[in-house]
Amino acid sequence: MTKNVLVLPGDGIGPEIVTEAVKVLGTLNLDIEIDSALVGGSAVDATGNPLPEETLNKARSADAILLGAVGGPKWDGNPMESRPEKGLLGLRSELELFANFRPAILYPQLAEASTLKPEVVSGLDILIVRELTGGIYFGQPRGIRTLENGEREGYNTYVYSESEIRRIGRQAFEAAQKRGKRLCSVDKSNVLEVTVLWKEVMEELAKEYPDVELSHMLVDNAAMQLVRAPKQFDVVVTGNMFGDILSDAAAMLTGSIGMLPSASLDKDGKGMYEPCHGSAPDIAGQGKANPLATILSVAMMLRYSLDESAAADRIEAAVQKVLDQGLRTGDIMSEGCTLVSTEEMGDAVVAAL
Ligand code: IPM
Ligand code: MG
């Protein structure tokens, strides 16, 4: 049966990297129909809304969604409701994509590209499981209010219900079962009650997964351990905001955030796939962006939502091959390699396929 993929290029380098990823997808000759729609700043410009109704409807009916990136300085001054990021957050929450998987794998070819010593990062393979539709990103009440004395006050609410913690916890335990069977839950339970509950629920769940070794770490220590000795981690599970921050740190261990794909899944495995990086407005339109994170996101999409794991394996092998050939975009460039453009990198992956 034909599968439907909705492509949302977004802003900045989004359109460039998505073009390459779609090219790679097209090379596989699968029974997939591709549609596209606007999201983020480009949607604000065209319709005034970062997540137009039409985009949301198409997203609801698609089998999977591939997103580039959203945001840019052009819209930074917009009120919160019409910021590009609202489009992305709206998709995540409307589609209930609560489980965000961010694998940080160091390709051996890129050991030199990491800012950390090769011995610290070589062989790195960690998975960050980030809760994506709750926590302080979505908690109510929120806003900026004026107090009686005339001073303004900004406030957000960090809240998680037991069921929200349990469902992301299960995803993380199950992911750990398929990998190294170690799960580290990251919290701030020395200060924040919401994460005291988080920790308790993880402990309860651990009883159901006796084959997985559960540990806990405070988020500040986790940030330090990630750059000190990252290989101690197998699977990390954490809330929305901590996961946002730690996944950027983890990305840099692998040489470049331009290498990191991600999957955001609902309870039935329907998903949205996007690179972990942002829209990089400083290099947009210059052919400098690394399309590999988006191409690797296509591989995750084939594996998790489209039941095409053989095709996913082929893409990942093709990426290895172009790295073996010494082809590099600027972000992962090192001595003796060949600097290529966004398009040349996409073409090389297609040729390797
Ligand atoms: C990410 C991004 C987003 C987030 C932004 C663009 C809203 O940083 O996917 O990590 O904070 O979740
Ligand atoms: Mg982020």
pLDDT tens-digit map of 70-88? 999 999 999 988 999 999 9
Q: Active-site residue among 107, 137, 160, 304?
A: 137
Does 224 share its domain with 319?
A: no
Q: 244: left (phi > 0), else alpha (psi -120 to 50), else beta?
A: alpha
Residue 142 Cα to ligand 1 midpoint, Å, equals 18
Its domain, for residue 130, covers 99-259
Active site residue 244: yes
Task: Give the separation between CA 38 and CA 55, rounded to whole angstroms.
Answer: 6
pLDDT tens column, 328-345: 999 999 889 999 999 999
More confident residue, 6 or 80: 6
Measured by CA distance, the residue closest to atom 8 of ligand 1 is 244
Kindly report the average pLDDT of the chain as a whole number: 96
Among 58, 188, 234, 304, which one carries the catalytic annotation? 188
| Whether the predicted pLDDT of 115 surpasses 90 | no
Q: How long, in residues, is the chain?
A: 353
Same structural domain, 92 and 164: no
Residues 150 and 223 in one domain: yes
User: How far, in Å, CA of 298 to CA of 21, rounded?
Assistant: 7
Instruction: Give the list of residues 6+ apart from residue 269 with CB closer than 8 angstroms, or none.
Output: 304, 305
Percent of the chain with pLDDT over 90: 93
Provide the number of structural domains found in the chain: 2
Last residue of a domain, one of 230, 259, 288: 259
Q: How high is the pLDDT of residue 331?
A: 92
345 compared with 113, residue with greater pLDDT? 345
Which residue, of 194, 228, 259, is where some domain finishes?
259
Statement to judge: residues 164 and 225 lie in one domain: yes
Average pLDDT over residues 130-140: 98
Asked whether 107 and 215 are in contact (CB, 8 A), the reply is: no
Q: Residue 111's pLDDT band (boundaries 50, 70, 90)?
A: confident
Instruction: Report pLDDT for 112.
Output: 83
On whether both 287 and 170 belong to a single domain, the answer is no
Return the residue whose CA atom lies nearest to atom 4 of ligand 1.
244
Stated pTM of the model: 0.94
Q: Does residue 137 carry a catalytic annotation?
A: yes
CATH number at residue 332: 3.40.718.10
Q: Is 220 assigned a catalytic role?
A: yes
299 & 346 share domain: yes
Q: Do residue 276 and residue 221 come from a single domain?
A: no
Helix, strand or coil, per DSSP, at residue 26: helix
